[in-house]
Amino acid sequence: MDITWGASASHEIAWGGMIAVYLFLAGIAAGAFLTAALTDLFGKNRPAKLIRAGAYIPPIAIVVGLLLLVFDLGRPLSFWKLIFNVNFSSVMSLGTFIISIFTAVALVYAYLIWAWPVAQARGIQITVAGVEAAAAREVPASGLQALRKPVAVVGSLLAFGTATYTGFLLSAVSTNTFWSVPFLGISGVPFLPFLFLVSAISTGLAATLIGAIDCSDLTLYKKVDIVLLAIEILLLIILYTSVSSAFFQGGLANLFWIGVVVIGLLLPLILAIYGVSKHKNLVVPVCGMVVVGGLALRYFVVYAGQMVR
Amino acid sequence: MKRRDFLKGALYGTGGTMIAFGGFGTLTKLDPKKAAAAEQDALSTVFSTCEMCTSRCTVALKVKNGKVVKAEGHPNDASTGGSICARGNAAPSLLYDPERIKKPMLRTGERGDGKFKEVSWEEAYSYIAEKLKNVQKQYGGEALAVTSRVNPNDIFFRSIARAMGSPNMFSHEATCPMTRTVALEATFGNPYIGADYGNAKYIITNGRNFFEGIHVPMVKGVMKSISNGGKLVVLDPRFSVTAAKGEWVPIKGATDLAFIMAMANVMISENLYDKEFIAQYSVGFDKWVEAVKDKTPAWAEQETGIPKDKIVQITRDFAKAKPNCLLEYGWRTPWTGNDYQLRRAIMIVNMMMGNWEVPGGYFRKKGAALLKPYPELQQYAKSLGGGMVQPAFPKPAKGRIDGTGIKGTPGQVIPVPDGAVGQIPESILTGKPYPIKAWMVYRFNPVISMPESERVIEAIKKLDLMVTCDVYMTDAAYYSDVVLPECTYMERYDPMIDNTGLTPKFQIRQPAVPVVYPDTKPAWQIFKELGEKMGYGQYFPFKDMEEYLTKQLAAAGLTLAEMKEKGFWVPPGMKPFFMRGKDPKAPAPTASADQKIQIFSEELEEATKQGIPEYKHYPQPENGKFRFIQGKVAVHTNAGTHNVPVLNELMPTNTLWINSVSAGKLGIKEGDSIIISAGKYEHKGIAKVTEGIRPDTVFTYHGFGRISPKMTRAYGKGINDNKLIPNELGEVGNVVSSTTFVTVRKA
Amino acid sequence: MAKHYAMAVVVAKCIGCQACTVACKFQNNVPEGQYRTKTPVVGPKGTFPNVSMYFEKQACQMCQNAPCVEVCPTKASHYNEAGVVLVDVDKCVGCKYCLTACPYDARFINKDTGAADKCTFCWEARVSKGQVPACVSTCVGGALVFGDEKDSNSEIAKLLSKNKGEVRKEEFGTRPSIYYIFEGVK
Ligand SMILES: Nc1nc2c(c(=O)[nH]1)N[C@H]1C(S)=C(S)[C@@H](COP(=O)(O)OP(=O)(O)OC[C@H]3O[C@@H](n4cnc5c(=O)[nH]c(N)nc54)[C@H](O)[C@@H]3O)O[C@H]1N2
Ligand SMILES: Nc1nc2c(c(=O)[nH]1)N[C@H]1C(S)=C(S)[C@@H](COP(=O)(O)OP(=O)(O)OC[C@H]3O[C@@H](n4cnc5c(=O)[nH]c(N)nc54)[C@H](O)[C@@H]3O)O[C@H]1N2
Ligand code: SF4
Ligand code: SF4
Ligand code: SF4
Ligand code: SF4
Ligand code: SF4
Ligand SMILES: [Mo]
């Protein structure tokens, strides 16, 4: 209730749910890409299904995310101006390029992965040795497939850039004490890029695992997931101790404690530790919760930074 | 300084009012085609007079492509410094409001069910004329009452009543400063008295809320005074913006006269007043000495709740600043039934300070007539003339319903042009002294502005004819038979506006754009045409307002073209003039050169048997009850602007202020829904719990809680104070606004 | 020497009348429900009868080290030749990054244009043509003083040399050009 008259002072929330989802999707895209590409590059017995899941998720996620971003613009039809007007001091301006190139690379990579079995099939027809070689990744693939590895390398770098960018985007707002909180108090080292990177890999991996549900041996991935969850918990403890407790109060408290901590971290962690040794069919619930938790985390960070100023 | 010169050059340099003010980027950036188009976009300026409230500040209306896009203060008007308030700035929002009335409307359903049809002006006039003629035949011409907020078109509006033989012409003043007018007339023989706030060193105000009841030149003056280190003491039961800028003294409501009398008591006992001045200029001081003899600070403490030491200290400091000190005489004044005596006492104490006709004091407004005795000044100005000469009107067969003008009764001192407007619903409902059967209101909203809204509505429902002329379908219009849409002040000429202060000052009102809604008309034209329809054409002997203005101006040696170009006129080179400015012994006339300041007023003695102010104790709220008071808010005018889009956006509703301790006892929290009860009437509202009000008082901003659904933005929002206040006539016909008690409970 | 336009708000003289709010709306075509400037009340503080309150005119603080300019991806937000922070509507995509960066809640997305909007010091229509901003020109309390801070003869420079001008949220290092003079405020 306004006590006298006039327009009352207001704190508008500039970035809402669309941006939170966008940051989340960009993270998933990056995480899934890293999962697929690193497997592709270093995996011994590459579970093709997992690579495929990890390669298909990024373009879909990032394109949906970018569409949300564009819709959220005050002037959606002018989005292209982001590309033609560059401001080197603006994280968003730089991020635009990272994300745009990442999107393109992710599309190419997805295409290559899609085309891979076709190439392999063609290979069978040519020589038996060729097929074996392709499967064992000993013989360089021919034609376009020759690009797959380099694309995976470049894409991984861009994925890494995208994941951390989502953190830098917020942490660069130096007037926002929450978003720009430094890592362990070290000035100049922002905290959010670490958090968002870990969360991106964790959610991307989780999403990929859901896509690769019927693969046989995913133990390694599940172990990685456990490690990532543990790191994230550690990071949130650091965050909690670095900023004012005001950010964890009111409506945001539920989002944080239930959404991020319980659903996103503790439950999956417990279930994952339990499930690694026993149950295979815990993948969907565990990974599902990780993904939901990742979304909750973006919502929380985006809103907390703007609600309390 | 530079800015002023720049503007002067820009505005006057080309010798016309249509001056280009580009509202676009630098020309170098534009291609020639765009530049040509931009040329047409250029702003022109039309100087005029604001009517968002009746302070009537000078304005510069900015017109672009035939639309008023902005209102600004007149850059050359020293009294406003080029400022206008939020309401003045909101001008285009009123002008283009689609909720204005656009055509004459005739009621088709029952009164109050809101059914109207649009009719032509011809039909509207015929309908009114026929009804009025019937009323005249059946009951006599005096059965018509007309009421308007004081304004330059009154002469035309009232001509209808005069021609019909009705004496019952009223202004809104009984709801506003009429008690002050009565006091000034009784004391000085004339009411045209102003105060030089800017040069005052100490200002005390009993409820005059300078910074919310805005009059731009007064705000400038008071602000100048306090910026220069002047002291401001604000006696008000609630913490107003004005109180925030000075020392707040939370006086008990309806007890101000006790404080003033105690001041006089201290001044006399401590010899703090200007004896020479009193001796030279006044009569009857001895009776005043007698009257305040026992009005000690200790006594006043009991009445007002202000500690006696505080009263003494304020009085001493105030007297130290004499004669550059002002005890403010008020604007909206009717706190109590005998408020005129409060205003009298205030002016008497002022005169004890000798603050008459000196800088930082009170002065007579310096119309041309007052300059005549001064050879070095008389050349500066001549008075405006009349715009027409009217033949004699028939003499009314009966006296007025409110007794105005009857010697030996309070009616003797009720100002004739104003009357006691509160008497109208009483006469309609009781038939005493005789019934009113037709009521025409113009630029006045009795349903919201007069006490006891429901009684006013009940009265309207009994009439044979109710006519409202307004710019909105107001609450009064909603219950009318005929609604006449005036165009706004931005679309019309009005007769000259005389805003004389320390120098003469004439202002023009002229159209900035043609009428936005083609079926709206200026008031002068509406009443002229209605008059002609009724066969009273002889009382409107002029063709149009240009002709009328030309005549008015000719008498003052001015031309319409010149006024249109400049917007306002003050005698070039004339400095503010105080009659005692140079010589404290100089004669300073009141009504006439030899008349003395009436500390004892023979006239009041005759009319009310109170030639000297007498204290009257009004009850204080019993436990559990609150005194209910009201006030103005900076972003709205009275009952006038609550539906103007931009202003409605800034403040769509009001609240009931209640002290936090009192609220706590009632279990009321900030923002709670509450019910305010005045016994007979109840009103819903929202509570504002605050430290800024006396625990025995509740307050609300006036003008909300609107009844007409046709003002969709304001309709039903907030508290209509006048629903709760009884229609009580004060001793000199004023309404009474601060003596109502209410209870408050959670809804 | 380059100019540096600045505004001083003499808080003691501000009566909260909102003339500035409304003048700004019409000067700059600010859409319904949106504001480039607001003057909310601060208080009342204290307990009856010792209470106080004042009004604080708020708008873009015209930071000389403006976070909004820094973060803007398209350079739509920029400093003009006189150090005034402006938004080039044409370049603005409406990403709202600047809204999140501004610590003074000075910006909003204009409903009509979709671009970021805020106080411009009335640059185009008034200041560049030698007039003071609309809010300053209409200020009823006389609380607003505008001018070139670097010109020692300007009213504002004189005012600031005599009175302490405080800036809002100094800790962010934004170096605002709006100074609040609290002298005489209870
Ligand atoms: N913004 C704005 N400006 C206006 C107007 C407007 O509506 N809005 N209206 C114009 C008009 S018509 C007028 S008359 C003037 C009015 O200007 P003011 O005379 O200043 O009128 P109010 O604001 O009604 O001031 C009434 C103050 O008196 C206090 N009060 C109530 N009862 C008592 C009492 O018994 N004793 C004392 N000491 N104080 C009391 C109220 O709390 C309130 O603060 O303003 C003019 N200017
Ligand atoms: N309880 C309580 N009652 C009060 C007050 C209070 O504080 N408390 N204040 C009192 C005071 S001080 C006053 S002065 C009165 C004011 O009472 P009113 O004179 O009734 O109020 P206003 O708002 O000034 O104007 C009345 C009407 O004029 C219309 N109007 C505006 N411009 C024009 C125009 O150009 N042409 C025409 N034809 N109409 C126009 C408006 O739409 C409005 O309906 O109210 C008094 N009533
Ligand atoms: S005080 Fe405001 S509304 Fe009244 S005439 Fe002056 S500018 Fe207009
Ligand atoms: S106040 Fe906000 S919008 Fe204005 S310059 Fe500073 S950061 Fe930018
Ligand atoms: S909203 Fe416009 S001005 Fe603000 S950062 Fe984005 S592009 Fe720049
Ligand atoms: S300087 Fe102009 S844009 Fe800024 S608040 Fe004042 S009027 Fe509005
Ligand atoms: S116009 Fe001036 S006095 Fe009125 S609210 Fe704005 S800054 Fe304050
Ligand atoms: Mo009034």
- Residue B654: pLDDT band with limits 50, 70, 90: very high
Position B23 scores a pLDDT of 26
Pairwise CB contact (< 8 Å): A173 & C100: yes
Q: Who has greater pLDDT, B497 or A249?
A: B497
Report the pLDDT averaged over residues B464-490. 98
Contacts of A2 in chain B (CB under 8 A): 651
- Any chains having at least 3 CB pairs less than 8 A from chain A are B, C
Percent of chain B predicted with pLDDT > 90: 91
Say if residue B233 is in the same domain as residue B360: yes
- Comparing CA positions, the residue from A292, A38, A294 lying closest to residue A159 is A38
| B587 and B699 housed in the same domain | no
Residue B378, H or E segment = helix B375-378
| pLDDT at res. B592 | 75
In a domain, B707, yes or no: yes
- Of the listed ranges A282-291, B391-400, B503-512, C145-154, the one predicted with least confidence: A282-291
Per-residue confidence (pLDDT) for residue B33, from 0 to 100: 46
CATH code of the domain containing B687 = 2.40.40.20
Q: Name the pLDDT band for B108 (thresholds 50, 70, 90).
A: very high
pLDDT for the residue numbered B494: 98
Give CA–CA dist A181/A185, Å, rounded: 8
The atom number, within ligand 3, closest to the CA of B59 reads 7
Instruction: Give the number of other Cβ atoms within 10 Å of residue B684's Cβ.
Output: 14
Q: A167 to chain C nearest CA, in Å?
A: 14
pLDDT of residue B35: 43
| pLDDT on residue A129 | 44
Residues in C lying within 8 Å of B, measured between beta carbons: 12-13, 15-19, 21-23, 25-27, 32-33, 43-44, 46-49, 51-54, 124-125, 128-132, 134, 137-142, 186
Is the CB of B84 less than 8 angstroms away from the CB of C19? yes
Contacts of B512 in chain C (CB under 8 A): none
- Give the pair of three-digit tokens for residue A67: 């569409």
DSSP assignment of A227-246 equals HHHHHHHHHHHHHHHHS-GG
- The helix (H) or strand (E) run that includes residue A296 is helix A283-307
Are residues C80 and C64 in contact, defined by beta-carbon separation less than 8 angstroms?
no
B264/B242 Cα distance (integer angstroms): 24
User: What's the complex ipTM?
Assistant: 0.92
Q: Which residues of chain A fall short of a pLDDT of 70?
A: 1-9, 46, 117-142, 216, 276-281, 309
Closest CA to B735 of B716, B722, B720, B718: B722
Verify that B595 and B720 share a domain, yes or no: no
Expressed in angstroms and rounded, the spacing between residue B732 Cα and the centre of ligand 2 is 21
Is residue B596 domain-resident? yes
Within 13 A of C18's CA, how many CA atoms are on the CB side? 26
Reference B338, options B730, B733, B605; nearest CA is B730
Interatomic CA distance for residues B731 and B517, integer angstroms: 44
Q: Please indicate whether, in this complex, the C-beta atoms of B688 and A1 are within 8 angstroms of each other.
A: yes
The Cα-based distances of B137 to A146, B85, B134, B441 in angstroms read: 109, 48, 5, 21
Please count the other Cβ atoms lying within 10 Å of the Cβ belonging to residue A1: 12
- pLDDT band, very low/low/confident/very high, at B27 (cuts 50, 70, 90): very low
pLDDT of residue A120: 60
User: Which of residues 12 through 51 in chain B touch C, CB cutoff 8 A?
Assistant: 21-26
Structure-model confidence comparison of residues B414 and B592, the more confident one: B414
B694:C19 CB<8 A:
no
Q: Crossing angle for the helix pair A91-126 and A48-72, nearest 10 degrees?
A: 150
Nearest CA in chain C to A92: C73
| Other chains touching B, judged by 3 or more CB pairs under 8 Å | A, C
**Exposed/middle/buried for B723, CB within 10 Å: 0-12, 13-18, 19+?**
buried
Residues B329 and B289 in one domain: yes
For range B690-707, the mean pLDDT: 97
Cβ(B636)–Cβ(C17) under 8 Å?
A: no
What local confidence, expressed as pLDDT, does residue B310 receive? 98
Show the ligand 4 pocket: residues with CB < 6 angstroms: C 60-63, 66-68, 85, 102, 104, 106-107, 118, 174
Same-domain pairing of B182 and B295? yes
Summarize the confidence of residues B664-675 as an average pLDDT: 97
Q: What is the CA C144 to chain-centroid distance, rounded?
A: 10
- At residue A265, the pLDDT reads 92
Tokens at A72, concatenated: 């959220």
Yes or no: say if B740 and B632 are a contact pair by the CB < 8 Å rule: no
Contact state of B650 with A1 under an 8 Å Cβ cutoff: no
Task: Please check whether residue B498 lies inside any domain of the structure.
Answer: no
Residue B732 and residue B665 share a domain: yes
* Encoded tokens for B491: 């679309």
Per-residue pLDDT tens over the stretch B325-340: 999 999 999 999 999 9
Name the residue among C86, C65, C43, C66 with its Cα closest to residue C186: C43
- Give the one of B25, B85, B649 whose C-beta lies nearest to C33's C-beta: B649
Go through chain B and tell me how many residues it has.
747
CATH architecture of C5-63+119-181: 2-Layer Sandwich (3.30)
Residue type (1 letter), B25: G
In terms of residues, how long is chain A? 309
- Check if the beta carbon of residue C35 is closer than 8 Å to that of residue C21: yes
Residues in contact with B581: Cβ distance below 8 Å, sequence separation at least 6, in sequence order: B357, B358, B359
| Domains recognised in chain A with CATH numbers | 17-307 (1.20.1630.10)
If you search the block for the tokens 């009041």, which residue do you land on?
B604
Per-residue pLDDT, averaged over C54-66, amounts to 97
Residue B18 pLDDT exceeds 60: no
Residues B234 and B351 in one domain: yes
Give exposure, B339-371, as e/b (b: 16+ Cβ within 10 Å): bbbbbbbbbbbbbbbbbbbbbbbbbbbbbbebb
Same domain, B249 and B345: yes
Mean pLDDT of chain A: 86
- Cβ(B99)–Cβ(B642) below 8 Å: no
β pairing state of C77-79 and C85-87: antiparallel
Asked if B602 and B659 sit in the same domain, the reply is no
| Counts for chain C of helices (H) and strands (E), in that order | 5, 9
% of chain C surpassing 70 pLDDT:
99
List, edge to edge, every strand of the sheet that includes B105-107: B116-118, B105-107, B482-485, B465-470, B438-442, B144-148, B169-171
Domain around B688: 626-746
pLDDT for B31 beyond 90: no
Pocket flag, ligand 6, residue C157 (CB < 6 Å): no
Instruction: Find out whether the beta carbon of C154 lies less than 6 Å from any atom of ligand 6.
Output: no
Does residue B571 lie in a domain region? no
C-alpha closest to that of C147 among C87, C59, C63, C82: C82
The whole-number pLDDT of residue B732 equals: 97
Residue B24 pLDDT: 28
Specify if B318 maps to a domain: yes
The token duo for B269 is 């006992």
Contact flag A6-C18 (C-beta cutoff 8 Å): yes
- Domain holding B333: CATH number? 3.40.228.10
CB contact under 8 Å between A7 and B650, yes or no, is: yes
In this prediction, residue B134 has a pLDDT band, given cuts at 50, 70 and 90, of very high
Give the distance (Å) from ligand 2 centre to CA of residue B338. 23
- Find the mean pLDDT for residues B93-98: 98
pLDDT score at A4: 59
Check residue A141 and give its pLDDT: 54
Q: How far is the CA of C151 from the centre of ligand 4 (A)?
A: 23
End-to-end CA gap in chain A: 20
DSSP string, B81-133: TT---HHHHTHHHHHT-TTB--S-EEE-SSTTS--EEE--HHHHHHHHHHHHH
Tokens 């073209």 sit on residue: B561
Look at residue B16 and tell me whether its pLDDT is greater than 50: no
Q: Taking residues B417-446, what's their average pLDDT?
A: 98
Read off the tokens for B159. 């001509």
Q: What is the pLDDT of residues C114-163, one digit of tens each?
A: 999 999 999 999 999 999 999 999 999 999 999 999 999 999 999 999 99
How far apart CA B473 and CA B711 sit, in angstroms, is 7
SS3 state at B203: strand
The average pLDDT across B460-468 equals 98
B648 in reach of chain A (CB within 8 A): no
Residue B742 falls inside a structural domain: yes
Using a CB–CB cutoff of 8 Å, tell me whether B646 touches chain A.
no
B89–chain C Cβ distance below 8 A for any pair: yes
Distance from CA of B265 to the nearest CA of C (A): 26
Q: Alpha-carbon distance B221 to B469, whole Å?
A: 35
- Phi then psi for residue A214, to 5 deg, are -95, 15
Higher pLDDT, B660 or A185: B660
**Exposure b/e, C118-148, CB count within 10 A at least 16 = b:** bbbbbbbbbbbeebbbbbbbbbbbbbbbbbb
Task: Answer yes or no: is B285 within a domain.
Answer: yes
Instruction: Measure the CA–CA gap between B547 and B525, rounded to whole angstroms.
Output: 13
B225 and B351 co-located in one domain:
yes
Report the domain count for chain B: 2
The rounded distance, in Å, linking the Cα atoms of C75 and A29 is 28
- On whether both B584 and B692 belong to a single domain, the answer is no
Distance CA B653, CA C124 (A): 36
pLDDT at residue number B12: 32
CB-count burial class (<10 Å; 0-12, 13-18, 19+) for B510: buried
pLDDT at A145: 79
Closest CA to B183 of B731, B575, B746, B742: B731
In the reported structure, the alpha carbon of residue B172 is separated from the centroid of ligand 8 by a whole-number distance in angstroms of 8
Specify the pLDDT at position A119.
Answer: 61
pLDDT-wise least confident of A130-134, A199-203, B269-273, B569-573: A130-134
- Cβ distance B690 to C44 less than 8 Å, yes or no, reads yes
Q: From the candidates B50, B80, B83, which should be mutated to test the interface with C, based on the most C CB atoms within 10 A?
A: B83
Higher-pLDDT residue of B235, A218: B235
User: Residue B67's pLDDT is what?
Assistant: 97
Q: Is the CB of C143 inside a 6 Å radius of any atom of ligand 5?
A: no
> What is the pLDDT, as a whole number, of residue A124?
46
Q: Are residues B311 and B185 in the same domain?
A: yes
Beta strands in chain C (DSSP E): 5-10, 41-47, 50-55, 77-79, 85-87, 108-109, 116-117, 144-148, 178-181
